[in-house]
Amino acid sequence: MATKTWFITGTSSGFGRQLTQLLLERGDRVAATLRKPEAIKDLADQYGAQLWVRALDVTDTAQVREVVAAAFTDLGRIDAIVSNAGYGLFGAAEELSDEQISRQIDTNLVGSIQLARAVIPHLRAHGGGRIVQLSSMGGQIAFPGASLYHATKWGIEGFFESVIPEIAAFGIEVTLVEPGGARTQFAGTSLAVAPPSDAYTEGVVGQMRQFMTLAGVTAWPGDPIKIAQAIIDSTDQTPAPKRLLLGSDAYANVHAALTERLAAVESQQELAFSSDADDVIAARA
C-alpha cells in the first residue's frame, strides 16, 4: 500500500491524536497542527521527519492560510485533510456567555469552513484529494444543553452539502464523520461548561448536566482506536462516503431522528402541495 500524506488539525488529544499515531505507525507522513505543539513532542521525537508539526489556532484565519500554504510547500501533495479541531460546550442557551458562544462558533464552524477554503485551491491544483470533516451524530440530532455545539455541527453539515457538488469536478471528495459518544476526553477536559442557573436545575438541562458530571469514560460505547481506523479506511473508498456513522448510539439515534423527521415531512404533503400557486395546481391536475 502506497504511503499517504495527511494534514490534521487538533492533534493534541482525542481522535486527532489517535489518527496521528495510527498513521505514523503504518508509515504515512502527517502534518499535525495544534495550539500547543509540545503536546505531541513524544511523537515528534519518535518519528522525526515523518511528522511535520506546526502551531495552529483554527480561529485565526490568517494563521490557517499560512500554515496550510507552508504544509503544501514543504510536503508537496497532501492526500487527505482531516478537519478535527473542535470541542464541546454545555449549558442552556441563556446560561452561555457571549464569549462562550463566539468561541464555540469560531472554533467548530468558522474554523472548519476557513480550513476547507484554504485547502481547496491546493487540492484543486494537485488534481484532487480528500477532505474528512469531523462532525458528530450531533450534526443530525440534538440534546438539550448543547444548543451551540449542535448549531456548529448542523452548520458544518449544511456547508459541505453545498460545497461537495461545487468541488466534485476537481476530484475533491468529502466525508462527514458522525461519531457517537466515544471514550475520549470530549466530555471531560475537552468540554466547556456554562455556570448553572437555578432555573434549569430540575429540568432536562439539569439532568443532562448531572449525567455529564457523573458519567465516566466507559459510559460511552465508542472505541477511539476503532473509530480512528474506520476514518482512515474510509479514505480508500471511492466514491467517498458522504457520511460515516460510527458507534451503535450514533446509528440508533440518527436512524430514529431521521425516521421521525421523514414521517413529519410526509404528513404535510397535502398542505405543501396546496400552497402552490393556482396555475401550478391546475397544471398538475
- Split into its structural domains, the chain has a count of 2
Same domain, 150 and 239: yes
Task: Chunk the chain into consecutive blocks of 10 residues (it has 285) and report each block's average pLDDT, rounded to whole numbers.
Answer: 92 94 97 96 96 98 98 97 95 96 98 98 98 97 95 98 98 97 68 88 86 68 91 96 96 97 98 97 92
Torsion sign, CA atoms 72, 110, 166, 7:
positive
DSSP state of 195: P
Q: Quote the CA–CA distance of 210 and 214 in Å, as a whole number.
A: 6
Same domain, 217 and 270: no
Residue 222 neighbours by CB under 8 Å, 6+ apart: 179, 180, 181, 182, 183, 246, 247, 249, 250
Same domain, 82 and 138: yes
Q: Quick one: pLDDT at residue 191?
A: 83
DSSP element (H, E) containing 103: helix 98-104
Same domain, 264 and 202: no
Geometric angle at alpha carbon 37, from 192 and 7, rounded to 5°: 90
Same domain, 134 and 206: yes
Q: Residue 184: count other Cβ atoms within 10 Å of its Cβ.
A: 21
Same domain, 101 and 153: yes
Same domain, 213 and 125: yes
Q: Quick one: pLDDT at residue 220?
A: 74
Same domain, 279 and 176: no
Q: Quick one: pLDDT at residue 217?
A: 63
Residue 56 neighbours by CB under 8 Å, 6+ apart: 9, 33, 34, 35, 63, 64, 67, 85
Q: Quick one: pLDDT at residue 215?
A: 64
Same domain, 16 and 86: yes
Same domain, 184 and 280: no
C-alpha cell at 209: 448536566
Q: Quick one: pLDDT at residue 186?
A: 60
DSSP state of 56: -
Domain range for residue 238? 5-246
Same domain, 227 and 279: no
Residue 271 neighbours by CB under 8 Å, 6+ apart: none
C-alpha cell at 133: 470533516
Same domain, 95 and 117: yes
**Residues marked as catalytic:** 135, 149, 153
C-alpha cell at 184: 475520549
**What's this model's pTM, rounded to 2 decimal places?**
0.93
C-alpha cell at 237: 473508498
